[in-house]
Structure 1
Amino acid sequence: MTVTGSGPGRRERLKALREASLHRPVLARHLSDGFNGRWSRRQWATASLFASMGLLVAAIVPGFSNDTTAPAHAPRQSMALALPPLPARSPEQARGDSWQIVTVQSGQTLGELFEDLGVPAATLQQILAQPSAKTALGRLRPGTELAFDLPVGGGLRTFRFDRDDTHRVELHIEGDSIKETVIERPVETRTVVATGEITSSLYVAARKAGLSPAAIAVLTDEIFQYDIDFNTDIQRGDRFSVVMDENWREGERIGRGKILAATFSTGGKTYSGFRFERGDKAEYFSPDGRPLKKSFIRMPIPYARLTSGFGSRRHPVLGRVRQHKGVDYGAGTGTPIMAAGDARVQFVGWKGGYGRTVVLDHGRGYTTLYAHMSRFGKYKAGQRVPQGSVIGYVGSSGLATGPHLHYEFRINGVHRNPLSVTMPPPEPLRGAALAEFRAQTGPALARIQQVERIIYADVGGEADGGQVAKAEAPKDGKKG
């Protein structure tokens, strides 16, 4: 269409044509102008976006639906069941509800315990007036258990304590009177085998094996002290086994008893000791029935240093050469001096240059002399002295330049060197005593061997460790 001319008329015709073109219908083919049968990359991206949005809407919209239809449940019914009646408590049970168990702590006194529980001091004095209570409660040890029967709104009704390991005492308080009841608590004795291997020290290994310090002392100072020097002979890998009694009460171990047998392996050799009562005295014997305890110990002072030997020497005080008829052990003033063997005290007192001196008569012509003491022990002339008992203390009395022990050993009055003299052997078991000893020691040795075969089947043992194995069924604790 052609528009010709100029002026106002022409402008009006152009305006009319523009409005007519804006209101003209648009044909569909105009939208696809340029489409040749293939989608462009932009068209594919747009289509993918709309498709993803459609899937998302389809997934979300059902969640907003109000349709909460759920499958129907079966109808429920309730039934009341009658509970069985609670059993009525007996008076003893009701009484037991008021018991309060108190464990004594370090530093606590009986008066403080009673005061903390609100028990009057007058009641405490009333209890301590009882002979059994005065003896058992006179010195409380930490860990002791005391029981108080204290009903609500009332005073102390019953007080309970252990008199010893086998007896429990109940004091029933009724006004100004007290009724005492003693309850026997059975104690059973079980025999066990404890064994260990040393890697750093005997004490550590023995404690881990379950031995108490007292049991370790029996092992070192009583059973094997004559055969093993525990200062120099002990090596890594040495082993020990101990057969001992354990005391049990009401399922609880309350202590360990005597050592029945022991073995100690060191330096490629095994030493054994077995407990046996000869007469009224318990001793330890070798497997063939010879006492392990020798008639004499070499050193009356343990771990002392030898300062002067036996023989000719120049006297340190007199300054001239003379026979030294004994040996000297240097030690600090006050060091205990032990009797070298079982003996009767022959002399106690001052003896010239010897100073304070003790002479012991061991029988069969054997005597020993101990000189230069600072003070004497408790034994007097004529008394019997067991081996190892303290008869005096190191000093420097008499002709002495410093504190030491002068020790002499005589046989039929003749001085002998205590370090080299052949000591008389102890008397072995014979006859019926030997037969009884062998009957007792056989089972004990078999138990040790059985446990050691099990524990040491593999090479090596636990470091500084020990194990305790049950050796036999529980038995009465009255065996000797």
Structure 2
Amino acid sequence: MKGTSSPRFPRKNLFFIILISFATLGLIALPPPEQESDPETERKFKIGVAYPVSISSASTTAFSNTEETQKLTWKKHVVESGESLAIAFDNIGLDGNTLHTLLETDKNTKQLERLRPGNVIEFGFNKEGQLTELRHPRNYLETLIVRHNGKSFTSELDKKKIETHTNFAHATIETSFWSAADKAGLTANQIMEIAALFGWDIDFALDIRKGDKFEVLFEQHYLDGHPVDRGSILAATFTNIGQTFTAVRNEDGKYYDKDGQAMRKAFLRSPVNFRYVSSNFNPRRLHPVTGRVKAHRGTDYVAPVGTPIWAAGDGVVLKSAYNKFNGNYVFIKHSTKYVTKYLHLTKRMVKTGQRVKQGDTIGTLGGTGRVTGPHLHYEFLVNGEHKNPRTVDLPQANSLSGKEQTAFKQRSKQQLAHINQLSQLVPNNNILLN
């Protein structure tokens, strides 16, 4: 009997079976790939520090508006000199009816008639070529948005949120107040505002000395994390020739000293924005033209020809005229007690009998009359007697009273204590930006 033999397995098939077996074992034995470490998960975060967070585009679908928004085609137009809104619309391809309807929407759209060269208008058109949206940035804070809902236009003002921080600067004067304030990081407007605040107590032409110092606490406005402009001065001190003056802003927007006395007084110490002074108040001096000793009952301020001259206080113009000695001159009467005189003007800008307010421009500095060079000669009379305008006692300022004064004194104490603390921390001639 022949033994039965197993069927022969083709060698080719055997090779494939072995290959598949090894591949299967490899899949079972191979460890899973090591997961890459995520630096975001391993990083240790610190409290109070902001970190960027990455969100994939797929995960943002839950936050997006589920309604499909129609994609617009935008055209940007910059207004040119002499160009009207009608011309701008025509250049974009819009007719007069659309312009008229849009302008009559409300008071916001009506202001589009007052566009200036350089202003920007952005037009958004739908796929049919119809005006669907208009955008006009009015300034860095506000954008006018006009939309068409298919029947009529509607408008809204998109206002960005401004953040306000409190900043601080201080400096010691070496050469001039302007130079020190500029090096400390203050703007030209802030420098002038400080001079105006203390201008009732300090003559910034004659009284500033080396070693004088100032400290100022002020608002800084931020938009999207970037500084955009400076706000109000909250409090300031100015030490002049050893005497310290203070100014603190009240809730009414006015400034008072630490005790609640108004900074504003009946007269300015100086009636001109100046840089140089030719001579001080001196009752006996050699006249520069005649060579004789003659009383010089006032103060001379040298500044560029055409510099505005201000009324030192409220009053009525006694005389606005010209003679060969005074040149163009203006005399102002302030109540029954005080008179101020302004001589050698290039131009007089008030008439006899005219009422003026403190700070009004009454003329411009010049060199008319008997003079050696352009300057303002300024005199201050009390009951007909010449006084030094730098040192004369001025009428007492108004003050806060009652509960308002009590509340102000508390706020003033806090602000000035804050200034004192910061002046110890911040290097001199520097600015602290929060």
Call closer, same or farther: CA 1:331–1:199 in 2, change over 3 Å: closer
Quick one: which of 361, 375, 378 aligns to 2:347?
Answer: 375
> Is structure 2 residue 320 aligned with structure 1 residue 348?
yes
Partner of 1:159: 134
Partner of 2:335: 363
When the two chains are superposed, the root-mean-square deviation of aligned CA atoms in Å is: 5.0
Residues 349-403 of structure 1: per-residue CA shift (max 9 Å, x gap): 33574332211223361111112222112576331321x3321112344444543
- Secondary structure of the 1:289 match is coil
Partner of 2:432: 467
Shift of 1:274: 0.3
Partner of 1:202: 180
Partner of 2:381: 410
Quick one: which of 382, 396, 406 aligns to 1:426?
Answer: 396
Partner of 1:285: 256
Residues 281-326 of structure 1: per-residue CA shift (max 9 Å, x gap): x442221223444544444332233258543567666787654444
Unaligned runs of 5+ in 1: 1-67, 77-82, 470-480
Matched residues in 2 for 1:451 and 1:353: separation? 53
Matched residues in 2 for 1:434 and 1:381: separation? 38
> Is structure 2 residue 111 aligned with structure 1 residue 135?
yes
Within a 5 Å distance, the mapping from 1:208-287 to structure 2 comes to: 211-223=186-198, 226-227=201-202, 229=204, 233=209, 240-244=215-219, 246=221, 255-263=229-237, 271-276=245-250, 282-287=253-258
Matched residues in 1 for 2:184 and 2:87: separation? 38
Within a 5 Å distance, the mapping from 1:182-197 to structure 2 comes to: 182-183=156-157, 185=159, 190-195=164-169
Call closer, same or farther: CA 1:262–1:330 in 2, change over 3 Å: closer
> Is structure 2 residue 277 aligned with structure 1 residue 305?
yes
Residues 203-248 of structure 1: per-residue CA shift (max 9 Å, x gap): 44443xxx54323321234347844859954669x66341326476
Asked if structure 2 preserves the Cα contact closer than 8 Å seen for 1:167 and 1:185, the reply is: yes
Partner of 2:27: 74
Residues 148-204 of structure 1: per-residue CA shift (max 9 Å, x gap): 3222341322112245677653333589x8623234637566352333557995344
Matched residues in 1 for 2:203 and 2:22: separation? 89
Matched residues in 2 for 1:390 and 1:342: separation? 12
Asked if structure 1 preserves the Cα contact closer than 8 Å seen for 2:125 and 2:133, the reply is: yes
Matched residues in 2 for 1:259 and 1:212: separation? 12
Residues 65-91 of structure 1: per-residue CA shift (max 9 Å, x gap): xxx999633289xxxxxx99x889869
- Secondary structure of the 2:69 match is helix
Shift of 1:120: 3.9
Matched residues in 1 for 2:382 and 2:240: separation? 34
Partner of 1:31: none
Within a 5 Å distance, the mapping from 1:165-176 to structure 2 comes to: 168-173=143-148
Residues 86-117 of structure 1: per-residue CA shift (max 9 Å, x gap): 8898696513x427495969999787996899
Partner of 2:13: none
Matched residues in 2 for 1:204 and 1:330: separation? 22
Asked if structure 1 preserves the Cα contact closer than 8 Å seen for 2:85 and 2:112, the reply is: no
Asked if structure 1 preserves the Cα contact closer than 8 Å seen for 2:275 and 2:302, the reply is: no
Asked if structure 1 preserves the Cα contact closer than 8 Å seen for 2:85 and 2:115, the reply is: no
Call closer, same or farther: CA 1:408–1:230 in 2, change over 3 Å: closer
Call closer, same or farther: CA 1:218–1:440 in 2, change over 3 Å: same
Matched residues in 1 for 2:285 and 2:22: separation? 118
- Please give the TM-score of this superposition, normalised by the length of structure 2: 0.65
Counterpart amino acid of 1:415?
H
Matched residues in 2 for 1:252 and 1:308: separation? 46
- Please give the TM-score of this superposition, normalised by the length of structure 1: 0.60
Counterpart amino acid of 2:386?
H
Matched residues in 2 for 1:148 and 1:372: separation? 58
Matched residues in 2 for 1:251 and 1:317: separation? 61
Partner of 1:10: none
Asked if structure 2 preserves the Cα contact closer than 8 Å seen for 1:119 and 1:156, the reply is: no
Asked if structure 2 preserves the Cα contact closer than 8 Å seen for 1:356 and 1:374, the reply is: yes
Counterpart amino acid of 1:74?
L
Matched residues in 1 for 2:21 and 2:200: separation? 90
Call closer, same or farther: CA 1:146–1:379 in 2, change over 3 Å: farther
Matched residues in 2 for 1:101 and 1:91: separation? 27
Unaligned runs of 5+ in 2: 1-18, 31-57
